[in-house]
Amino acid sequence: MFKRKIVSLVFIITILAALALFVMPAFAQAPTPPDLPPGMPTIPNVLQLMAFAVVGYLVTQGLKAISSMITGNPDALSGWGSLVTYGIATTIIYFSQALLTLVPPFWQNPVSILLALLAALLTGPGIHLTVKKFQPAQG
């Protein structure tokens, strides 16, 4: 029984390490925001990473649907997912950053606070669920 638990633990760690190797290049190539004057609101890094995750999921599912319609094999276009995701997500982030440069100076602080609040609200449930998993079972 103990040996089986160790084998399953090693298997899970190996899978997580392999997934980390596939994910790290996407984070290493994350776009840097353009040079902005000091005080300009910028998109928080949390929202940028969330944009990459959402776009990555949507692009992957879209490519699976397209490849299954064309070839019948949903994994035929799987190699293009990261390239298309990076291009689309980078475009969305730079476009959003360009829109933020249009904010008048009077509204720069409220917009920065609003973006920080949005990032906190979107990450809060994930943090709550993660902390809840580490609590001992009641009852």
Helix-helix angle 108-133:45-70, to 10 degrees: 70
Please check whether residue 51 is in contact with residue 27, taking contact to mean a CB–CB distance below 8 angstroms.
no
Express as a percent the part of the chain with pLDDT over 70: 71
The pLDDT of residue 89 is 83
The pLDDT of residue 57 is 85
pLDDT range class, residue 59, cuts 50, 70, 90: confident
